[in-house]
Amino acid sequence: MWWRIIRRSFLNQKTRQTLSILSIVLGTSLVAALVNLSLDIPRKASSQLQAYGANILILPQTSPAGDETYLLEEDLSPLRQGDLAQSITAYIPYLYSQVEIAGQKVVLVGTWLGSVPKVSPWWQVAGNWPSDGENGQETETMVGVQVAEKLGLKIGDSFTVKYRDNQQTLKVAGIVTTGAGEENQVFVSLDTVQKLVSLPNKIGLVQVNAQTSSRSLTQLAQSIEQSIPGTEARVVGQIARSERQVLLKVQLLMGLVAGLIIIASGLVILSTMTTTILERTKEIGLMKALGASNRRIVSFYGAEIGIIAFGGAVIGYLLGYIIAQFIGQRVFNAAVFPSILALLAALAVAVLIVFLSSSLPLYRAMKVDPALTLLREE
């Protein structure tokens, strides 16, 4: 009997019940997404930070006179030997110089092009990674996307780089997108820049990818300075900090939005339940006249709102997982997996919303006087 009444109630109030479920779905979906992101992203960010990305920067010590200083390629041999080699998974040297292309100043970067993916695997290249050698009379290059747009360069185009009295013809093999300063640079092989700027065997800095804990990174940096005299080894924490900062901002934004939607959901259900109680005062009075207790009536309406809460929570959890997966892939480049904790959080929020928002209407239902209700109808 009770289930038939509940079913009839849903059929007679489709719009209101749908609105109630939708409001719960919106609130619980953001809560579920927030929980999923909070569980998966920090763990993945930590493991990915240790798996790739430069976390130590080796620089030449500054000259007391302020002259420009460089490292020598042979200085890097300790990185391939002994204890240092056991902790270092990859390293890559860089030499920077400002050159002129079509009358515009551009930063030219020389490096081991074939090793870049080991240290910076997040770089996205349209076209091909250039080779480290020459291709006929032309040297292949990888151009930052902003430089390509500014100079109107496309894959396969050739252009001339000038540095003082020297010049070099380059051919665009690929266009790189990184979301950072590299998009304003042009990349070629290390020896190409060394020849162009007349700095044979010279290096400006070295990026090191070391698989170790943050505490050991400091010790490793000290060991590098001892093994390579005349250098400064600095621990780089930008990747970890930026991941945490972005996650905190996403969490804060989603938390604020979720809070506002939860409040709105409560108001929607409060309005729906209040209107329902007012419209069904006669029905409540009749049930009481037939012997239904307040507990029975509350359980009846409680079952009705419980169905709304459970349905909204399950749908909200599924939508929240989709939202978390989208943010994880697009913002953090990491997959997010379903979590039972997120489902429990969605259910808890849904129950909290309906319990708080329906308490006053249910209290009013218990106060309905069956005699007065029936007299009004007469």
The answer, as to whether pTM is greater than 0.85, is no
User: How far, in Å, are 74, 75, 210, 329, 371 from residue 227 at the CA level?
Assistant: 12, 9, 16, 40, 95
pLDDT tens sequence across 181-223: 888 899 999 999 999 999 999 999 999 988 765 557 888 888 9
Residues 23 and 144 in one domain: no
**Tally of domains in the chain:** 2
Give the three-state DSSP class for 95.
strand
Residues 185 and 325 in one domain: no
Domain-terminating residue out of 214, 235, 256: 235
Q: Which domain holds residue 159?
A: 55-235
The crossing angle, in degrees rounded to 10, of helices 238-279 and 14-51 is 170
Residue 333: φ, ψ to 5°: 55, 45
Domain-terminating residue out of 192, 217, 235: 235
Among candidate residues 350, 320, 312, the one with its CA nearest the CA of residue 337: 320
What tokens appear for 313 in the block?
């929570």
Instruction: Report residue 172's pLDDT band, with 50, 70 and 90 as the boundaries.
Output: very high
Residues 292 and 179 in one domain: no
Residues 81 and 169 in one domain: yes
Residues 123 and 152 in one domain: yes
Residues 43 and 92 in one domain: no
Domain-terminating residue out of 235, 257, 274: 235
Residues 201 and 77 in one domain: yes
Query: For position 32, what pLDDT does the model report?
Result: 85
Instruction: Report residue 173's pLDDT band, with 50, 70 and 90 as the boundaries.
Output: very high
Residues 290 and 197 in one domain: no
Residues 193 and 265 in one domain: no
pLDDT tens sequence across 297-347: 777 777 777 888 888 889 989 998 898 888 877 766 666 778 888 888 888
Residues 231 and 250 in one domain: no
